[in-house]
A and B are shown apart, each in its own frame.
Chain A
Amino acid sequence: MNTNYKVLLVDDEDEFVSTLAERLEMRGYSTNVAYDGEEALESIETEMPAVVILDIKMPGLNGIEVLKRLLNLDPGLPVLLLTGYGSTEEGMQGMQIGAFDYMMKPLNIDELIKKMEEAISAKS
């Protein structure tokens, strides 16, 4: 397991994000947490993560919009999209814009780790 990788978790569901952050940290990642799009953009200003895990459906700025802005700041930034929404349409839209991959909630942690590692190694 690689350590010292910074993961930015963006989701409006506090319980979900904090628990997921704790589990990732138990696996040796360091995490930043944002509860909406604005916070995510602020966080990225101060510290550039190795990978972003971004929920598509959020109040305020939605995931697709946040994805666009993040990629605007760093086109090579690997972003994994999350959604609780069944339609593949938004997932595909995100993929077309440039997301690295797309996962559906609830997550399988091992699958998530695998995809994160792929994303990080793809970037580097």
Chain B
Amino acid sequence: MITIMLVVTLVPLAVMAVINSHLYHNSLKQQNIDQLLGIVNKTKHSIQLYLQERLSTVQYIANGNTVEELRDANQLRNVFHTLSENISGFVDIGLINPDGQQVAYVGPYDLEGKDYSEHKSYHEVKVNGSYISDVFKGYRGFPHIVIAVKLTGPDHKSWVLRTTINIDNLNEILAAMKLDPRADAFLLNRAGTIQTPSKFYGDVLDSFPMEMPAKTFQPTINETRDNQGNNLIMAYAYFPKLEFVLTVIKPSNLFLQSWYSLKGQMLGIFIGGTLLIIIVIFRLTNTMVRRIKQADERREVALRELEHAQKLSSIGRMAAGIAHEVNNPLAVINEKAGLIKDIIQNNSNIPQSEKLTKLSDSILATVERAKDITYRLLGFASRLETRYEKLNINNVLRDVVSFLHREAAERNVNINMDFDENLTKVSTDRGQLEQVFLNILTNAVTAVDDGGKVDISTWEEDLGTVGVSIKDNGHGMDKETLRHIFEPFFTTKTGYGTGLGLSITYGIIKKLGGEIKADSEINSGTIFYIYLPKNNSQGDFR
């Protein structure tokens, strides 16, 4: 039962938790990815814008000056001065003649006269008109980017205006992403060379230790792992027409950090809920099991009582039959022995008359004992069967009194009846109730002296109960005796009576659903109160 209840409650909870966790996991991850892609996109645009701006500036210079002007060292110095005053990042500027010789140069290095004819930038510019290089060290010995544009000289040949910019501004743009310290953002070139300093994957111009992701200009997520086997999320984007690949690498667990904390909370709630459910189920089940057990026990007791009652009932019937059958032969023995005694008493000359008289007395006494036993059996039998009928208690009392009035009259005992004439009828057993009243009234009449008084009253006790009192002004009894009067075999009539009378009375009243109480005072009398339910719920159960 506990298992079933646990399964029924915990399985849906667990399923829900798993589904929820899955959904949360995915949505959180997606949210993080979207966020990251957004940042990557923005940064990519910033870098593009930055480089484009620099390129446009160089183009502007190329367009706004003739080759001759730019060849002039002073002119070029002025141009560069103005340039670096206004736009950050520029390191130097130089003019390359159609043969690839740098003929003019302004900057911190001594690069005038250098031959660039074999440089990639030189050729790219010749073909495309402009060029932005990836990061390299070149003659200068520190990482920089070349921005070059073609311009046509007076000889109608292609000259090249070549500037370099440092990567500090790019680093600043990348730093502006404000990533977690455990995340790494840097630029690669398409060949897999690191372009801006990386925290974890090498210095500028080192080779990127992982495989390059597939080429796409849209910010894209690539789930991968490093050579230590850590799961990583790589967000990247290629730059159109540029060599760069913007790369952001985050450890997956960092990526799902908020998920882990949420998961932890959810797990906590799940475990807490599960414990609560288990406790509640155990308590409920225990309570239910206990109640069922109690119900079972009650049913068993009821069945046992029923069985017992049936057994008693059949014993009772048998006892009554035996008692009756024995009483008749006893009566014969009684008369025969009596006759023998009569004869002896009437004939004085019978030998051993004294002994014979003793013998017949003994027979008579024995018959008396046997009679006592049969009466007890009959008394026992008579209180087993209960037949309920609507009775007027006043009438039942009158019948019983009429049964006793001869003895009462003989001893001049006054029986007063003070009845509530509007008394509600009571559903009860006539025979048993008569036995009760007879028992108490006989006791009362016996208890009073000649000329004594017995008062009987009836009244409505409450809506469901009728009250009867039987009071005598007899010798009464002490508290100790009073306490025991309803116990079986308790008797004060030494050598007389079975001590069963009031216990039988008590048993009958209880069986009829009523109450009986007694109060008494030595030498002033005894009063019995009997309370009977108007409707007997027990019906014909027994």
Q: Do A and B come from one complex?
A: yes
Within 8 A of B (CB), among A86-102: 86-89, 91-92, 95-96, 101-102
Tell me which of B181-189, B286-294, B398-406, B484-492 binds A.
B398-406
Question: Does any Cβ of A come within 8 Å of B320's Cβ?
Answer: yes
- Assess A86 versus B335: contact at CB under 8 Å? Given A26-B342, A106-B330: no
Contact with B along A56-77 (1 / 0, CB 8 A): 0100000000000000000000
Specify which of B323, B339, B375, B430 is in contact with A22 (CB 8 Å cutoff). B339
In the complex, the answer to whether B377 meets A86 with C-beta atoms within 8 Å is yes
Nearest residue (CB) in B for A21 is B335
Question: Does any Cβ of A come within 8 Å of B256's Cβ?
Answer: no
CB distance from B438 to the nearest CB of A (A): 6
CB distance from A83 to the nearest CB of B (A): 9
Can you add 8 more A-B contacts, CB < 8 Å, to A27-B342, A95-B403, A107-B334? A26-B342, A84-B327, A88-B434, A92-B399, A95-B402, A104-B375, A105-B331, A106-B331
Question: Does any Cβ of B come within 8 Å of A44's Cβ?
Answer: no
- Assess A84 versus B331: contact at CB under 8 Å? Given A26-B346, A91-B403, A106-B371: yes
How many contacting A-B pairs (Cβ < 8 A)?
88
Please indicate which of the listed interface residues A20, A23, A106, A118 has the most CB atoms of chain B within 10 Å of its own CB: A106
- Give the residues in chain B near A106, CB-CB below 8 Å: 327, 330-331, 333-335, 367-368, 371
Nearest residue (CB) in B for A82 is B331
In the complex, the answer to whether B327 meets A19 with C-beta atoms within 8 Å is no
Chain A interface size, as a band, is 20 to 34
Q: A residues near B, CB below 8 A?
A: 13, 15-16, 19-20, 22-23, 26-27, 57, 84-89, 91-92, 95-96, 101-102, 104-107, 109, 118
Chain B interface size, as a band, is 35 or more
CB distance from A3 to the nearest CB of B (A): 15
CB distance from A56 to the nearest CB of B (A): 11
Question: Does any Cβ of A come within 8 Å of B457's Cβ?
Answer: no
Cα A23 to Cα B320 in complex, Å, equals 29
- Give the residues in chain A near B431, CB-CB below 8 Å: 87-89
In the complex, the answer to whether B336 meets A15 with C-beta atoms within 8 Å is yes
Question: Does any Cβ of A come within 8 Å of B374's Cβ?
Answer: yes
- Give the residues in chain A near B328, CB-CB below 8 Å: 13, 16, 84, 105
Contact with A along B397-434 (1 / 0, CB 8 A): 00110110010000000000000000000000011001
Tell me which of B47-55, B222-230, B378-386, B448-456 binds A.
B378-386
- Give the residues in chain B near A101, CB-CB below 8 Å: 406
In the complex, the answer to whether B378 meets A13 with C-beta atoms within 8 Å is no
Contact with A along B364-378 (1 / 0, CB 8 A): 000110010011011
In the complex, the answer to whether B332 meets A16 with C-beta atoms within 8 Å is yes
- Give the residues in chain B near A105, CB-CB below 8 Å: 327-328, 330-331, 334
- Give the residues in chain A near B367, CB-CB below 8 Å: 106
In the complex, the answer to whether A92 meets B324 with C-beta atoms within 8 Å is no
Could you show 18 A-B contacts with beta carbons less than 8 Å apart? A15-B336, A16-B328, A19-B338, A20-B335, A23-B338, A26-B339, A26-B342, A26-B346, A84-B324, A84-B331, A86-B320, A87-B431, A88-B431, A89-B431, A92-B399, A104-B375, A107-B334, A109-B338
Nearest residue (CB) in A for B375 is A86
- Give the residues in chain B near A91, CB-CB below 8 Å: 403
In the complex, the answer to whether A89 meets B434 with C-beta atoms within 8 Å is yes
- Give the residues in chain B near A85, CB-CB below 8 Å: 324, 327, 378
- Give the residues in chain A near B402, CB-CB below 8 Å: 95-96
In the complex, the answer to whether B330 meets A86 with C-beta atoms within 8 Å is no
Cα A26 to Cα B340 in complex, Å, equals 11
Cα A84 to Cα B328 in complex, Å, equals 6
Question: Does any Cβ of A come within 8 Å of B435's Cβ?
Answer: yes
Cα A109 to Cα B328 in complex, Å, equals 15
Cα A97 to Cα B374 in complex, Å, equals 27
Cα A13 to Cα B329 in complex, Å, equals 9
Cα A91 to Cα B382 in complex, Å, equals 14
In the complex, the answer to whether A19 meets B335 with C-beta atoms within 8 Å is yes
Please indicate which of the listed interface residues B334, B335, B342, B434 has the most CB atoms of chain A within 10 Å of its own CB: B335
CB distance from A12 to the nearest CB of B (A): 9
- Assess A86 versus B332: contact at CB under 8 Å? Given A92-B403, A96-B399, A109-B338: no
- Give the residues in chain A near B406, CB-CB below 8 Å: 101, 118
Cα A102 to Cα B378 in complex, Å, equals 17
Cα A84 to Cα B434 in complex, Å, equals 19
Specify which of A19, A86, A118 is in contact with B374 (CB 8 Å cutoff). A86
Contact with A along B335-360 (1 / 0, CB 8 A): 11011001100100000000000000
In the complex, the answer to whether A15 meets B332 with C-beta atoms within 8 Å is yes
Cα A19 to Cα B323 in complex, Å, equals 22
Contact with A along B484-502 (1 / 0, CB 8 A): 0000000000000000000
- Give the residues in chain A near B403, CB-CB below 8 Å: 88, 91-92, 95, 102
- Give the residues in chain A near B434, CB-CB below 8 Å: 88-89, 92
Cα A118 to Cα B343 in complex, Å, equals 26
Cα A106 to Cα B365 in complex, Å, equals 11
- Give the residues in chain B near A92, CB-CB below 8 Å: 399-400, 403, 434
- Give the residues in chain A near B335, CB-CB below 8 Å: 15-16, 19-20, 23, 106-107
Cα A19 to Cα B338 in complex, Å, equals 9
- Give the residues in chain A near B336, CB-CB below 8 Å: 15, 19
In the complex, the answer to whether B378 meets A87 with C-beta atoms within 8 Å is yes
- Give the residues in chain B near A27, CB-CB below 8 Å: 342
- Give the residues in chain B near A20, CB-CB below 8 Å: 335
